[in-house]
């Protein structure tokens, strides 16, 4: 990490840190006072998004329904499949809480980041001790991608939107599989809510065609 001068904040983003067992200790050794921002979304939607990304690169892979179960007849979900295991947030958070207090962590709702990006960014700026410079005037919703785009209100430059790898429509998944996955994740979600002190209300989503049905 580059040196940070007074009045500066250095930021780095790597999604895999949160689910990498060795990351908390290594980051704590490097900078124990670091502030951590974790973006989470409904783990069922997240798993389908993960699959959608892989499918775009490897169209020959089995269907989501096949990969999600060890035995579908018996309803045995394959929690070792990375697309599903990543969404067991409570499991990963336990590792981080061994090294960092919750006061150094901020959890961003992926769902609210889409519908109210300015509101979520206000919380992030408060967490980092920054003035609320980024506001609703910096965003507009791109209907084609299904995500907000960032713009500079002081000029007419082209808005910055997510790249081609984002905004793909998710494949249609068997509703029964969606229900089984919601049931599988529910106890882990409840544990995560308790650990973070936040209720992300993922249980309110009954199917895979929610507002987060794009990756």
Residue numbers in the known binding site are 41, 49, 166-170
Q: Are strands 69-71 and 36-40 parallel, antiparallel or unpaired?
A: unpaired
Measure the CA dihedral 120/122/127/128, to 10°: 120
| Burial annotation 149-184 (CB, 10 A radius, 16+ → b, else e) | bebeeeeeeeeebbeeeeebebeebeeebbebbbeb
The angle, 0 to 180 degrees and rounded to 10, between the axes of the packed helices 175-196 and 89-97 is 20
What the block records as the tokens of 53 is 């990304």
- Alpha-carbon distance of 141 to 60, in angstroms, equals 33
Return the ∠ at Cα 199 (arms to 205 and 133), rounded to 5°: 100
Q: Please state the residue numbers annotated as binding site for 3'-phosphoadenylyl sulfate.
A: 41, 49, 166-170
User: DSSP 3-state assignment of 65?
Assistant: helix
């Amino acid at each position: 990490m580059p040196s940070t001068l007074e009045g500066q904040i250095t930021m780095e983003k790597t999604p895999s840190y949160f689910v990498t067992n060795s990351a908390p200790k290594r980051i704590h050794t490097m900078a124990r006072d670091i502030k951590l921002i974790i973006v989470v979304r409904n783990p069922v939607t997240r798993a389908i998004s993960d699959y959608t990304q892989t499918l775009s690169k490897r169209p020959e892979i089995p269907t989501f329904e096949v990969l999600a179960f060890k035995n579908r007849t018996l309803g045995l979900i394959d929690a070792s499949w990375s697309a599903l295991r990543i969404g067991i947030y409570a499991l990963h958070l336990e590792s981080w809480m061994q090294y960092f207090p919750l006061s150094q962590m901020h959890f961003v709702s992926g769902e609210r980041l889409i519908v109210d990006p300015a509101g979520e960014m206000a919380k992030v700026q408060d967490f980092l001790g920054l003035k609320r410079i980024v506001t609703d005037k910096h965003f507009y919703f791109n209907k084609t991608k299904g995500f907000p785009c960032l713009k500079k209100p002081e000029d007419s430059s082209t808005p910055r939107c997510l790249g081609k790898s984002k905004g793909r429509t998710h494949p249609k998944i068997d509703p029964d599989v969606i229900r089984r996955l919601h049931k599988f994740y529910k106890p882990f979600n409840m544990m995560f809510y308790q650990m973070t002190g936040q209720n992300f209300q993922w249980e309110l989503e009954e199917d895979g065609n929610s507002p987060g049905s794009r990756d």
